[in-house]
Every structure is written in C-alpha cells, then in structure tokens.
Amino acid sequence: MLAHITATHAVMGAGRMGLAMIRRWLDAGLPPARLMAIEIGEANRSRLQALGIQTFSAADQLPSVPDMLWLAIKPQQFHAQIEAIHHAIRGRGILICSIMAGIPLAKLQALGAQHHYARVMPNTPVATGQGVCGLFAPELKAAQSDLLTQMLSPLGMIYPCRKEDDLHAITAISGSGPAYVYMFMHALKEAALRLGIDPSQAADLVRATLAGSLTLAEQTGQDFLSLADAVTSPAGTTEAARNVLDNALIELVAKAAIANAQRSRELAE
C-alpha cells in the first residue's frame, strides 16, 4: 500500500502513538529508509532501530530536511522544541502534521509561513489499523493532501473536519472513545463477577459479547437503538435492565463527552 511512497518522513516523538503509527506504516509496506525518528527515550530508539529506522535524540540532529514532519510529542513539550524543530526543517517549505491534542494551527504556524500544516487526532486502535483519525487540513496542495490520505489510510477511518473547532468533538468521541468502551467492558466484567460468573471466564465473556455485537451492527447496518430493541421483549429480562440503564446511560455519556470537549478547549487556550 505504501511501498511506492518516495516522500521522506520524520516522526518527532515515537512514544505510544508515534510508534504505533510507524509500525502500521511499515506493515503497510513503507520502506524504513523513508522514515527518520526523533525520540528522546533510549528504549524507544532501540525499538525503532530494530525496525531499521534511523533515529536521533534531538530534532536539530536530523541530517536532511524531510518532506513531511509528524509532531507526536506531548503538547506541553512543543513550545520548548520550537527552536530545535526550526533548525531541523530549516528554510524549505514542508508538510507538517501534528497529532498533538490542543495545539491549534495558529500556534503550529510559529514554525514558519513557508510550511503547510495539518492536524490529525488519532486514537489508540490505529495500532491495529482500525483506528479513527480526525483530520483538519484546510490549506494543502492537492499532492500534499494525497500524500496525507495515503499515510493515514493504513491507520483506519479518516474523518475530515470542516473547521478546526470540530477536533474538540473528535477528541471527545473517537480520540478518548476507546477509554469509555474499556470502562464499559470493565463495568460489565464487574457485574459478571457479582452475578457469580467464573472469574477466569469473565473477561472472555465480555470481549465475545462486544465483538459479536459490533459484528452484528456492522453486518446489518441497523441503528444502535433498533439493535437494542431487537434484544428486548416486553416485560422480559433485557427490559428489566434497560429500565435501569436507558436514560441514565445516555445522560452520563453525554456529560462525559461534553466535559472532555470542554477540557480540550481549555488546553488549547
């Protein structure tokens, strides 16, 4: 899928997310020679070297200017790195793609007006190729947009944002969403234990229930409420559970997602 890519990429910050993206790109056929990584952590540098990738411990050590720079350090690390990044990308205009939460384009543009910028909000399932990437890239040339789409495709679904502000909602839904899903799985497992399910089987039971429900939702394409209704008969067992869950769950999840988006806005200020 990516074997034909000739553009060179530097990833700054190969931690959990940066490394997951790099691994997907390599799995999708990107030649390791197209990648450079800037990573402070020695253990992560060793992992990258084992994958055949040239690594550097600081941005100003890059031997050549990449065609594309991926910023995957923590948002709070960005401001202290502006000078070093400047040095790394020198004068040439390149494509800079940030996955940092809460650093708006206006702040990224401190790296220079000659560059083009994109913001991507991934989630942890990108490690499996089944992630979601919110994308805001308003001013790219067609070739840059094409390159970005090719690089994001092996990570999962791409959700294009019409305005930068939409990235807060994307953070609250797909960015943090896996955490809500795992919390629900944990809650279902705890309930299973309280009902006397064998502790050695409880996690498998929950995983299989979620996997089967997701496959059914995908295969039928039905809306989620209809799928829930299909399990619910009048005065039956599911109805007894839904009498407890229905409104409470919808309100709770909405409240959580709104708190998430609000925090995302605060961090961007």
Ligand X SMILES: NC(=O)c1ccc[n+]([C@@H]2O[C@H](COP(=O)([O-])OP(=O)(O)OC[C@H]3O[C@@H](n4cnc5c(N)ncnc54)[C@H](OP(=O)(O)O)[C@@H]3O)[C@@H](O)[C@H]2O)c1
Q: Which residues bind ligand X (CB under 6 A)?
A: 12-13, 15-18, 38-41, 44, 72-75, 77, 81, 99-101, 121-124, 175
The helix/strand/coil state of 34 is: helix
At closest approach, how far in Å is the CB of 227 from ligand X?
27
Of 136, 124, 126, 63, which Cα lies nearest the Cα of 98?
136
Residue with smaller CB distance to ligand X, 42 or 239? 42
Contact 59, 37 (CB under 8 A): no
* 14, two tokens: 């190969």
Residue with smaller CB distance to ligand X, 16 or 186? 16
At closest approach, how far in Å is the CB of 24 from ligand X?
14
Q: Give residue for tokens 């909405």.
A: 254
Residue with smaller CB distance to ligand X, 38 or 147? 38
At closest approach, how far in Å is the CB of 181 from ligand X?
13
Contact 69, 58 (CB under 8 A): no
Residues 6+ apart with CB under 8 A from 217: 224, 227
At closest approach, how far in Å is the CB of 105 from ligand X?
15
Q: How many angstroms separate the CA atoms of 260 and 266, rounded?
A: 10
Of 123, 147, 195, which Cα lies nearest the Cα of 8?
147
At closest approach, how far in Å is the CB of 64 from ligand X?
17
Residue with smaller CB distance to ligand X, 41 or 112? 41
Residue with smaller CB distance to ligand X, 53 or 73? 73
How do strand 116-121 and strand 131-136 relate by DSSP bridges? antiparallel
